[in-house]
Amino acid sequence: MKHSFLFIIPAGLFLAGCAGKEGEQPFKMIDAVDFSHVKITDNFWAPRLANHATTTLAVCIDQIENQTGRIRNFENAAKGEGEHSGIFFDDSDVYKALEGIAYTLKNNPNPELEKKADEWIDKFAAAQQPDGYINTFYTLTGLDKRWQNMDKHEMYCAGHMIEAGVAYYQATGKRKLLDVTIRMANHMMDTFGPGKRHWVPGHEEIELALAKLYQVTNEERYLDFANWLLDERGRGYGSKGEEGEWNPSYYQDDMPVRDMTDIAGHAVRAMYLYCGMADVAALKKDSGYIDALNRLWDDVVLRNMYVTGGIGSSKHNEGFTVDYDLPNAEAYCETCASVGMVYWNSRMNRFSGDSKYIDVLERSMYNGALAGISLDGDRFFYVNPLASEGEHHRQEWYGCACCPSQVSRFLPSIGNYIYGTSADAIWVHLYIGNTAEFTVGSHRITLRQETGYPWDGAIKLHIVSLSSPLQEDIRLRIPAWCKSYALEVNGESQASVPVEKGYAVLNRTWKAGDQISLTFDMPVEVVAADPRVSENAGKRAVQRGPIVYCVEEVDNKENFEDVTLSPDTKFQTGFVDMLHGIVAIKASLSEDKDIVYIPYYGWDNREAGKMKVWLDYKESN
């Protein structure tokens, strides 16, 4: 099979036109079509979502209720007696799992699951203090110590509670948890703010959560508080923690956020910070935040991102060291950080209508984030290296369980990222089989997308129903990995469709029954890292469409240690039943030597063994 060679920077497929232009911010806002209006029906994601509802949530509930003391902490806090078990931020895992339950209930009503959520919420409400404060660690270890250490995650836990409260209210209409979160938000605002105490949250999250609370309550003071917390950074207010000196770089506190140019410190904290900045920028029309985010995006994607869309190379700080330091076996690439890349890049796209952000979102989603959960939905990766000697395996749970609970809330919400609407267009960002019903302008539309993506590049988009003829554009993302595609409308070829910022723009009067066909060529791509990534000198990786592949020892017992690619390597692709159904790649290295590639997200789902993404490469003589 023909394959192409694509020399890439370490971040992905962004060579030209990547850098954001400072000052060019039209605030072209794209509204996401909420996943509650999108029913996913394809053979790739639909089984995963069903498995999430039946297996992943059950694992999380069992761990929270039976295997760990997370829910017991709330019970003890309500009584005002007993010990706190676990880590000081364990409340957040319960809130994230509840958020995942809420998202699941939106599209899959389940009375028993809703009853379980209500039981948890009752426990949360009972654990809240009269002044609105809620945090089981300090309730059980001494309320006199609260709000003394900026790295004890009090606002981080509050942020995840707010996100869960908003999600559950939107899913069920029940306000009990939302009201708990409002009381906690009011408590924080009574304590901190202009003319009160300074505060820099050691782990960001509260900022984006307050933006959500503002949007559901229309109380602008919550948005103002989020803005104030962002502007507290880099002004010398960071505290000395109990475990050592406050490291401003690690906490994204070394300069005002508007002046930031380079990502540093802890990867997940940075992602949540950038999401908060993006939300406040959008809601307050603040171009200063967006200028900073453009600079930061360039630094993250062009110099500090793995081919899998993972970020954060260092175990030492769960984050970053220097540009182009991207080791493979030692890569940290926390699952939470890859999910954070999805969250952040979605927000960046809404400002600009630029497909480069969805290209990164898609890369992180299909590779870095999806690798974080087993195919059966019951085991998890915290760390996602790009090579292993056979010692790295998924686990049932972690003492620090942020990643399992993160995946539990991320998976049921992936429908959020497929479509968007703006004043003049419907935006098709991702290619996932689904039926969606939503409003654009004054028009009610039903779309059905049929595709075998990511294995097959053929997509059909049907306008099933339309309340009245629609004159808005339909904009279809052309992924950066795609070098050739064909486009038809109602069977007629569209050879001269303009492409703006990576979207093919179809402009016509649309009516019910119209059909768009879009077909991407999906050759095997052999990719090289930026020469400054010393770890990958003389190596190549393989991808096809949005999927990054790896070589696993279980498929290549004879040849695993002795594999060298070259321009003469021939590739064949074919759908196979293993790993819940994949397109595997066979690389023929010589007449008697073949190797099998599988999708990176699928490794460590069978027997233990070695794995690598980057293979040795030798130019032909």
Instruction: Please tell me which residue in 18, 275, 336, 402 is annotated as part of the active site.
Output: 402
Spatial separation of the C-alpha atoms in residues 596 and 312, rounded to whole Å? 28
Peptide bond into 454 cis (omega under 30): yes
* Sign of the CA dihedral with 121 first, then 122, 124, and 129 last: positive
Provide the CA 33 distance to its chain's centre, in angstroms. Answer: 17
Spatial separation of the C-alpha atoms in residues 124 and 126, rounded to whole Å? 5
Query: Residue 246: what residue type?
Result: W
Q: 335-352 and 402-410 helices cross at what angle (nearest 10)?
A: 40
- Are 310 and 360 contacting, i.e. CB atoms less than 8 angstroms apart? no
Instruction: Please tell me which residue in 99, 318, 334, 525 is annotated as part of the active site.
Output: 318
Residue 318 appears among annotated catalytic residues: yes
Burial bucket for residue 244 (CB in 10 Å: 0-12, 13-18, 19+): exposed
- Are 363 and 357 contacting, i.e. CB atoms less than 8 angstroms apart? no
Residue 561 appears among annotated catalytic residues: no
**Tokens representing 226?**
């989020």
Find, among 59, 50, 69, 154, the residue nearest to 110 by Cα: 50
Non-local (6+) Cβ contacts of 410 within 8 A are 100, 339, 342, 369
Spatial separation of the C-alpha atoms in residues 92 and 190, rounded to whole Å? 22
Non-local (6+) Cβ contacts of 326 within 8 A are 10, 304, 306, 313, 529, 533, 535, 536
Spatial separation of the C-alpha atoms in residues 253 and 271, rounded to whole Å? 14
**Tokens representing 175?**
């306000």
Spatial separation of the C-alpha atoms in residues 76 and 284, rounded to whole Å? 41
Q: 206-217 and 154-172 helices cross at what angle (nearest 10)?
A: 30
Non-local (6+) Cβ contacts of 125 within 8 A are 176, 177, 180
Q: Mind telling me the catalytic residues?
A: 318, 402
